[in-house]
Amino acid sequence: MSSPIKLDQTDRKILNILQKHAKITNAQLSKDIDLSPAPTLERVKKLENSGIIESYHAKLNGHLLGLNIYAFVSVKLKNYNKKSHNSFISKIEDIDEVIESHSVTGKGDYLLKVVAKDVSAYEDVVRDRISAIDDVSSLESMVILSTSKDSKVIPVP
């Protein structure tokens, strides 16, 4: 288990700003945290090198791209051995429409997040690609009707 890395209040400010708005310039970031550009840059690099900042991503608007169905799919497997899990995970990896896959406690074994352009395309993904994996026993769809929060910001302790 890795122990949490020590951060001061300035580091926390940096992380909160970059989670919300990664494209800020170093010059602007330094103003927002009341520091000069040089040490600001150094702190950002340190956060990147330590692995606390993993990566930077553009968030797209799915609707404008014609992706109108978002859903969570709860999956139960037939068997609980390591081979079955690994087999399932590697097949899920290849399905671009599955954008998240988590092993979870509760009634299902995996919870997937799936995106598709319409109900018909969604049906294709669920029936022809996910159900088609032998390791899968049953599925339950939770189609997203609306999203009220998708903050992309985890609370820095």
Site string for DNA, 5-44 (x = CB under 7 A): -----x--------------xxxx-----xxxxxx-xxx-
Q: Could you give the 3-state DSSP secondary structure of residue 2? A: coil
Q: Residues 8, 34, 54, 128: which binds a copy of itself (CB under 8 A)?
A: 54
The answer to whether 144 and 114 are in contact (CB under 8 A) is no
Work out whether 131 is an interface residue with a copy of itself (CB under 8 A): no
The answer to whether 22 and 155 are in contact (CB under 8 A) is no
Q: Residues 42, 93, 123, 134: which binds a copy of itself (CB under 8 A)?
A: 93
Region label for 51, one of left (φ > 0), alpha (ψ between -120 and 50) or beta (otherwise):
left
37 contact, one of DNA, a copy of itself, none, CB 5-8 Å limit per kind: DNA
